[in-house]
Amino acid sequence: MVMRGGTSKGAYFVADELPDDPDERDLLLAEVMGSPDPRQIDGIGGAHPLTSKVAVVSPSSVPEIDLDYLFLQVGVADGSVSDQQNCGNLLAGVGQFAVERRLIAASGDRAQVRIRMVNSDSVATATFPLDAGAPSYDGDTAISGVPGTAAEVRLDFEDTAGSTCGALLPSGAVADVIDGVEATCIDNGMPTVVLRAADLGIAGDETPAELEADQHFTERLEAIRLHAGELMNLGDVRATTVPKMSLVSAPRAGGSICTRTFIPRRCHEAIGVLGAVSVATALRLRGGVGSELLNAGIDPDLVQIEHPTGTFAARVELADGPAGPVVGRSGIVRTARKLFDGVVFPKNPAFSPSASPGGSA
C-alpha cells in the first residue's frame, strides 16, 4: 500500500510478506523503489528521500504493544537501504495501514494504537478516527507542506530520549564546539545537530535550492556532521542518514523559531517529525544553541517551528532531573492518507508476484 504519512510518502508492507533475510529484503525494496537511479524511473519511488521510504509493519509480541514498525530509508541514487533512523511521518499511517490489513481490530469512532518503533525500540501512541471500523482519512486538519486537509492523527511519544545515541545529550554537554562552530548534539527520537545559521554565514531563511547550490556551505556542514557523529556515539556516519543537521534563526512568520534542516545532504522542504521534536527539545534546554533566538509563546511547552513550506508544532515537556534535563511527553499532530493499494512488480524475476508465496510483493 502506498500512503502519505505527514509530509512524506512511502510503501507500507506487512512484514511476513517480505523476505526474512534482511539483505534479500533490502534488495527487493531497492528494486521496488527503482533505486539506484536519481529519477527512480523504473520503480515507485518519487526521486527524493522524502518519497523513497518504506514501512514494515507486523503485530507485536511485546505485551501491551499493538504493532511493530520498522522504518527503512531507501537511497535514491545509491540504492542503499538504512534502518539507522526512525520516521515519524510514515508513523502517522502505520495504525491505519494495520487496520486496513486487519493486523489489529478496531471499533468505535476512534482508534488508539500503541506502536513499537523497532529502529529505536521506543513507543508511540497513534490516535486517529474510524468510520464503521475502517480508518477515516477525511477531516479538516491542515499541516504545512501538504495541500488541503485530512483527518487528524495524534502521535504521542514515550521514552524517545537517547533512543539511538544512548542519551538525550550524547556528548555529555548542552553545547559543543565543532570545527569552530557551536552546536547542540541531541537525540530525542532523532539524532540531530542544532546550529545557528548565522554561525555558518547564512541568514537561515534561504530556499532549499539556494542552500544546496552553495558548495562551500554544504561541504562545511558535512564536515561538522562527520565530527558530530563521533561525538554522538554514532561512529563513522559518512554512509548513514543521521545525524540530521538543523540550522536555526530568528522566526520570520510568527512562529517560535526558523529552521533549515538537512537529511543529511539534501535540504528538507519541511522538517521531520522526530527531528522537529529534537530541535524543539534542544531550544528549550538552558544553554541550548539557538535558545536565545526562541520566541516563546504563552505555552512554553509548545514550539512552533518555521520551515521552508510552513510551520510545524511540536510539544515537549521538560523537567529538571538529578543528572540533567528529563523529557516527559512529546507529542505532535500529523495527517495521513491511503493513496494506492495493489501489486508492485519488481524488476528481478525472483521477486515477481507469481514467485512469492502470497502472490504479491
Q: 80-126, pLDDT tens digit by residue?
A: 999 988 999 999 999 999 999 999 999 999 999 999 999 989 999 99
Model pLDDT for residues 292-318, shown as the tens digit of each residue: 999 988 898 999 999 999 999 999 998
User: Is residue 161 a part of any domain in this protein?
Assistant: no
User: Is residue 18 a part of any domain in this protein?
Assistant: yes
Specify whether 318 is located in the same domain as 303.
yes
Specify whether 192 is located in the same domain as 145.
no
**DSSP character string of 230-284:** HHTT----TTS--SEEEEEE--SSSSSEEEEEESSSSBPSS--HHHHHHHHHHHH
Look at 19-28, 43-52, 67-76, 153-162 and tell me which has the smallest mean pLDDT: 153-162
What is the C-alpha separation between 267 and 205, in angstroms, rounded? 12
- Banded pLDDT at 358 (limits 50, 70, 90): very low
CATH number at residue 82: 3.10.310.10
User: Is residue 170 a part of any domain in this protein?
Assistant: no
What is the C-alpha separation between 287 and 173, in angstroms, rounded? 10
Domain with 264, as residue range(s), is 176-330
Q: Tell me how far CA of residue 227 lies from CA of 217, 230, 234, 266, in angstroms.
A: 16, 5, 10, 18
Specify whether 242 is located in the same domain as 282.
yes
Specify whether 271 is located in the same domain as 200.
yes
What is the C-alpha separation between 123 and 292, in angstroms, rounded? 31
Q: DSSP label at 172?
A: S
Mean pLDDT over each residue of the chain, to the nearest integer: 94
3-state secondary structure of 43: coil
User: Is residue 157 a part of any domain in this protein?
Assistant: no
User: Is residue 293 a part of any domain in this protein?
Assistant: yes
Model pLDDT for residues 245-294, shown as the tens digit of each residue: 999 999 999 999 999 999 888 999 999 999 999 999 999 999 999 999 99
The pLDDT of residue 359 is 43
The pLDDT of residue 353 is 66
Let me know: does 342 contact 161? Beta carbons within 8 Å.
no
- Banded pLDDT at 357 (limits 50, 70, 90): very low
Q: Domain count of the chain?
A: 2
CA-CA-CA-CA torsion sign (35, 38, 43, 45): positive
What is the C-alpha separation between 169 and 281, in angstroms, rounded? 11
Specify whether 304 is located in the same domain as 344.
no
User: Is residue 166 a part of any domain in this protein?
Assistant: no
Specify whether 147 is located in the same domain as 181.
no
Residue with cell 543529511: 264
Specify whether 144 is located in the same domain as 221.
no
**DSSP character string of 211-245:** HHH-HHHHHHHHHHHHHHHHHTT----TTS--SEE
Specify whether 89 is located in the same domain as 205.
no
Specify whether 123 is located in the same domain as 236.
no
Let me know: does 313 contact 305? Beta carbons within 8 Å.
yes
Model pLDDT for residues 129-143, shown as the tens digit of each residue: 999 999 999 999 999
Report yes or no on whether pTM surpasses 0.85: no
